[in-house]
A = this chain, B = another copy of it.
């Protein structure tokens, strides 16, 4: 069980940000001590690290990340979905919704990946020109 300062050091987030993420529902609410101090588990830390990854690396808004995490949680940790809690018709509808959403998210990821590739190629071209420029200047320097 970790207190918030420990979690902050593990994740690199500030304590404020951690509480904020809980506030907006981006994180499962941790347990509390008798006095009210938040007590986090390793799971919480993992969760936060994935949130950070999605936020920093992909530039998703916290809202988008929340949508993504929703599915992730339903399918991994708490699988209260698969055991038929309800009418199978409703199950089917929900699963189809999830399928649609997942497909959409995969498409945006593909888009991003291809654009990243394009930027990479551009930067690599730039870099080639720079390195040839450097070597040219270096040889000129030696010749003088």
Contact = CB atoms under 8 A, between A and B. Distances in A.
Q: Is the interface of A mostly helix, strand, loop or mixed?
A: helix
Interface residues of A, number: 47
A71 B56 CA distance: 23
Each complex incorporates copies of this chain amounting to 2
A116 B109 contact: yes
Interface in A73-90: 75, 82, 88
A117 interface: yes
Contact of A99 (B75, B116, B130): B130
A99 B115 contact: no
Nearest to A118: B53
A31 B95 CA distance: 54
